[in-house]
Amino acid sequence: MKKVDLSYRSEEEEIMDDLSDDSPALYRALKELDIINHWLGGNAITLNATRKILKSNPTKEWKIADLGCGSGEMLLKIAKWCRKKNIKIQLHGFDANPNVIAYAEKHCKLYPEINFHADNIFSEGFKNRSFDIITCTLFLHHFPKDDLIPLLRQFREQSNKIIINDLHRHPFAYYSIKWITRFFSKSTMVQNDACLSVWRSFTKKDWKEILKLAEIQNYELEWRWAFRWKLIY
């Protein structure tokens, strides 16, 4: 197996970064990624952090945005929990690929409290929106540092609380997901993008540098299984 230099963040684009993709491969990948995130426990990081905030004021009607929402699976989990707890919620999923949004709308069609938007987070229309909570799960590693710095500042202006759940760039994470997807994935896109996502992701040093440059001082940064960073500010 070819070794890669994980001392730096890769800038190679993932197959899923093609915003015009409407192939069956895209939808297979979305399904498989939901399964992987469920079994590796990654979704729980965002979900538990969101629940904690919602519990702080259960009578409030909350407005939450999930950026890079993919299939909408994270919003679906939040909606199901809020229904059980009788918490009023407005959920908004954003993805720049309209084909992904169409898939998410079908995936979450039984939950009218979830709305999806084929919108780019760099657009003026998105920048003018405000929310109580913004969540980003396995999303921000798609962006270079020069984009992340203004984005983190922008999120702070748009929301009271930001929850970021992203990958830890580490050899064990890279090679383990490479083997897992090689043996259990039928998606070429997942086999390529899963380990590349790790290579494009973050070390603790990366996050501290980005946060300093974004002038964000009050934050919570924790390592969580399986090789994830939970960042809340």
Q: Note if the pTM is more than 0.85.
A: yes
Helix (H) / strand (E) element for 222: namely strand 220-224
Residue 93 structure tokens: 């999923």
The predicted structure's pLDDT at residue 19:
79
Residue 202 pLDDT grade (very low, low, confident, very high; cuts 50, 70, 90): very high
Task: Return d(Cα 145, Cα 115) in angstroms, integer.
Answer: 29
- Residue pLDDT, tens place only, 53-75: 999 999 999 999 999 999 999 99
Task: Return d(Cα 166, Cα 42) in angstroms, integer.
Answer: 9
Query: Across-strand partners of 36?
Result: none
Looking at the predicted structure, is the pLDDT value of residue 152 above 70?
yes
Query: Across-strand partners of 62?
Result: 89
Mind listing the domains of the chain with CATH numbers? 20-232 (3.40.50.150)
The answer to whether residues 173 and 167 touch, using CB atoms and an 8 Å cutoff, is yes
The answer to whether residues 165 and 42 touch, using CB atoms and an 8 Å cutoff, is yes
The predicted structure's pLDDT at residue 85:
97
Looking at the predicted structure, is the pLDDT value of residue 215 above 80?
yes
Pairing between β-strand 228-232 and β-strand 159-167 as defined by DSSP bridges:
antiparallel
